[in-house]
A and B are shown apart, each in its own frame.
With several copies, the nearest count.
Chain A
Amino acid sequence: MNAAARPDLSVSFAGMAMPHPVMVASGCFAYGEPFAPFFDLSKLAGIATKGISPEPRAGNPAPRIWETPAGMLNSIGLENVGVEAFLRDKLPFLADLGVRVWVNFFGEDFDGYVACARALDRGRAHIDVLEMNVSCPNIEKGGIEFGMVPEVAHDLVRACCAQTAIPIVVKLSPNASDNVAIADAVRAAGAAGVSLVNTITGMAVDVRRRRPRLATTYGGLSGPAIKPVALRIVHQVHRALPDLPICGMGGIRSGEDALEFLMAGASCVQIGTANFAEPTVALRVLDELSALCVDLGIDRLAEVVGCLEPWPPEPPWEETPP
């Protein structure tokens, strides 16, 4: 261990080399442009775009956001420009940055997912990963999210993988009771990895006006509040499926947060909500991660992925001390 040397922060995710593990999360970085005034975006390992659907979507009524203790609720409603406008107007900007482009996508029904994957395949020269968001309500199956039932998720992922040569990483919902089963199902269906986690469904109440704080009643909870839940799911999935690449996220806003996710089993991480308060947060996280490696004597960051050890057992209990 040579603490003076610059630590090697490179990681690999599903066979893809990355200079370091710090990406930015879908829906929290738009299509990149709003952040261009703040810093050189090519310093990011990658950008996950706002979720793209086959047709443009206007999003949900206002108000769409509400802050909660150490977190926020959003019901943006998956507003996006639609796949055609994305490929035409947004992808070129991203492609020019030279960072890994993860295009987050979804459909409003089974066929919508498939159509979207097929359409995005046309951008394959500039797209590194299709990050498939399975947290949308499945209208055909009574509104339950596609990502809640392993079999449903499996079939959907398989159909999408058949449409494209771009690796598909499936982004799972922390609302599911058994993420290991779902991760296993999507792995079997051909997913190159999983992104863990999306937002947890929540709500807040305006007691004065006797109505929910969000126009849609429910929204997705993100930010530091959910970090313990996200870490738990990353660890559970990594422990059960150690070969499945994981991109971890949920409340990351420091280098130490990022390292927690890596040690729990994520090969790379995404920063979401923290971009809003601090548009340059990814650079700070990267700097802190580097400094922390020096501090902790980590020469190669890739080596700590999933390195957590369980606690040593306590000495056995006896009535009289030995």
Chain B
Amino acid sequence: MKRAVPTPAEPTHRSRPPRCGPPAFFAARLSAHRELTGGYFELSFTYDEGPDLRGVVPGAFVMVRGSWDADPTGPRAFSILDAPEPGRVTILLKVYGRGTARLAALRPGAAVSLTAPLGRGFSATTAGGPRRLLVAGGVGLPPLHLLARRAAQAGLAGAVTMIYGGRDADDLVLVEPLRACGVEVVLATEDGSAGVRGRVTAPLAERLDAAAAARTPVEICACGPEGMLRAVRSLALARRVPAQLCLEANMACGFGACLGCAVPVYGPRPYRYCCTDGPVFDAREVRW
């Protein structure tokens, strides 16, 4: 049971992802509800009082709960897809279980409560920095979508490549807006119905090989299912390429109160928290 743990001081990080402002808890309403292919929904929430989320770091998230009774008890975490104006935030939701099903069934006008902004996100794309390979799997798209659009806004569309995988063509959404802003998008589907057949790791490995051959410095930013992230991490560690992984964990609060979202890590303490220390972690730090 008992482990030796050093007295907790704020742990030092090799790459500490940037943090958003202090979180607020506020009432909002569902203002737009768009069903995409593959069981995805784009939901927009608007609110009169609450934080301006426009400047939010890609990877930051919002906890969402409908104004329902006892079940599901907790809110659910969603990466911020966009915050186009003050008082408005957009998420991409895939129906997975009870909570997401109930959120997807809400009608425009429905009251929800939000806690945001939460988490530490990906570092910003810089002009002189390494080329960035964004690896998105399934519902891991939103933070990287935002990251890519931010890069494009900063005139750095050419510095990022999105490698985006899913089960089939229907499972890949919101690709056009990315291409429209000049971002290169490589698709991979398990059934080959769009892009290359297979997993994202194959095109990723190709790009890493090419970069190694050309001696171009690259960096991976990945978000997706745990299996994919484990594979990406192995690739990155084996090739000594820096990688930032946006993780998921079961979350009860999202703001550091429950200690439920432990992520096993190497470092001064055995666990860090997906919600307050992440969700973006350095691949080397994650104890998988």
Contact = CB atoms under 8 A, between A and B. Distances in A.
Interface of A: 27-30, 33-35, 37-38, 50, 55-67, 69-72, 74, 76, 79, 81-82, 84-85, 108, 137, 139, 223-225, 253, 273, 275-280, 314-315, 317-322
Interface string B102-123: 0000000000010100000000
Contact of B74 (A33, A55, A276): A276
A280 B98 CA distance: 22
Contact of B252 (A81, A82, A273): A273
Contacts of A278: 25, 65, 113
B248 to A, nearest CB: 10
Nearest to B284: A321
A62 B271 contact: yes
Nearest to A77: B1
Nearest to B72: A67
Given A70-B70, A276-B74, A34 B266 contact: no
Contacts of B70: 69-70, 223-225, 253
Q: Helix, strand, loop or mixed for chain A's interface?
A: loop
Nearest to B237: A321
B22 A37 contact: yes
A43 to B, nearest CB: 15
B285 interface: yes
A61 B260 contact: no
Nearest to A56: B5
Given A57-B2, A319-B267, A71 B73 contact: yes
A36 to B, nearest CB: 8
Contact of A76 (B2, B73, B260): B260
Interface string B50-90: 00000000000001010001111111000000000000000
Given A58-B3, A58-B5, A64-B250, A318 B72 contact: no
A74 B5 contact: no
Nearest to A60: B262
Contact of B7 (A56, A108, A319): A56
Contacts of B23: 37-38
B271 A34 contact: no
Interface string B249-267: 1111111111111111011
Given A55-B2, A61-B264, A66-B250, A72 B73 contact: yes
Given A29-B257, A85-B8, A277-B252, 12 more contacts: A30-B256, A34-B255, A56-B6, A56-B8, A57-B5, A61-B262, A62-B271, A65-B258, A65-B261, A69-B70, A72-B74, A278-B113
